[in-house]
Amino acid sequence: MAKTLVEDLEETRIPFLRGILIRSLQDAGLDFKEASHIASEIRNELAAVQVEQQCGRINPFSRLKFRHSLETIGLKSRESDDVVQMLQEHLTNKSIKTIKSRNLARLIYRYLRKSSKLGPAVAHRWLVWHDFINSGRPLIFMIGGTAGSGKSSIANTLASRLEIVRTQSTDMLREVMRTMIPEQLMPVLHQSSFTAWKGLPGYKKTKDGISEALLVQGYLSQADLLSLAIEAVVERATRERVSLVLEGVHVHPVFMEKLQSETDAVVIPVMLGLLKRKHLQQRIKTRSNNVPDRGTEHYLQYFDEIWRLQSYLLSEADRANIHIAVNENRDKVFSEIMRFTIATLAENFDSTPERVFGAKAFVDDNYLKN
């Protein structure tokens, strides 16, 4: 059985003993509870399992990383913690110091299948997700929604949790185009998405406000101007085989449909929304505290146009069978998007655990069995 040895100044080696360390810490003035906690933390650090990746790189076992991996397939935080705790205890009890990543993934798959609380359905999601990771195919998230729907927040969460380094906002693309094309030549481009009608030739605002048709026409005119730039960003990501999170109000359902049929990347289109006016209005007010330069007064002045534009986008998404997520809680929306992603991947899934984890993983896995 492998042991952690401690070497003193006289080069004498003895096994690391948590009880001895607790007493030493108490002699130094710590109470038992604090000394016990510190000793446990040190033991866990010293006993850290090393995970060998397929490329040969070796990294220490990370509870946080594996908890996030499990949350990626739709598990709740508490469920993920329970699985990771089981995993760490199993490896510690078996005195395993190094394990291949495919064996670790296989071990989690086996545990999920046997779990009375989780079971085969969750294990299958884990299997499908790992099959995709091994495929090398890029993943393109397209996050649409009107102002205040939380696009940037969800995009950042997806990029962070999935370690996607390439993100793109259509607002930034619009800003770049504005520096290249003067307002006199393209006035629609220099308006907000919900006031783009102001740049249309010969528009007239009546006492009754702006018609639905004019509001949508202005939005579509601006979205069309940005479509080539958006396509170029997606095409480059696909060509370079890198995943991408694209977010913005200009990600129109028609564009989502078109892209899905023209690329071999895995495209996940999602339209965000808030179904109550007061919730969307409060979100716009709140974000001014986080990003003071967003010009909240401008958004609130045209809130009715923003609300009507959202209704149009949600209706178009529903017509095109684009997934709609009500963004009232960021973690729940992340989980919902990932469940939708894995369901999309599962449509064409035809592999087996032996192929996903490697046939050798099932041979090497024998020494992990109780």
Burial-class residue 110 by CB neighbours within 10 Å (0-12, 13-18, 19+): middle
Question: CA-based Rg of the chain, rounded to a whole angstrom?
Answer: 26
> Of 217, 333, 321, nearest to 274 (Cα)?
333
To which residue do tokens 């909240």 refer? 296
pLDDT, tens only, 310-349 = 999 999 999 999 999 999 889 899 999 999 999 999 988 8
Say if residue 368's pLDDT is above 60: no
For 210, the 3-state DSSP assignment is coil
Q: If pLDDT is split at 50, 70 and 90, which confidence band does 28 have?
A: confident
pLDDT, tens only, 113-136 = 888 788 899 999 999 999 998 888
pLDDT at 214: 92
pTM beyond 0.95: the answer is no
d(CA 68, CA 128): 16
Alpha-carbon distances, residue 208 vs 199, 200, 211 (angstroms): 19, 18, 8
d(CA 249, CA 154): 13
pLDDT at 81: 86
Say if residue 199's pLDDT is above 80: yes
Least confident of 75-89, 207-221, 257-271: 257-271
**What are the DSSP calls for 156-175, one per residue?**
HHHHHHHT---EEEHHHHHH
Count CA atoms within 13 Å of residue 360 on its CB side.
Answer: 4
For residue 55 the two structure tokens come to 């490329």
pLDDT at 17: 63
pLDDT at 126: 92
Note the CATH number of domain 137-328.
3.40.50.300
Q: Which residues contact 207 (CB under 8 A, 6 or more apart)?
A: none
Say if residue 91's pLDDT is above 90: no
Judge whether 230 and 346 are in contact, CB under 8 Å: no
pLDDT, tens only, 42-88 = 666 555 677 777 666 777 777 778 888 888 888 888 888 888 888 87
Q: If pLDDT is split at 50, 70 and 90, which confidence band does 2 have?
A: very low
Q: If pLDDT is split at 50, 70 and 90, which confidence band does 9 have?
A: very low
pLDDT averaged over every residue in the chain:
83
Q: Which residues contact 42 (CB under 8 A, 6 or more apart)?
A: 21
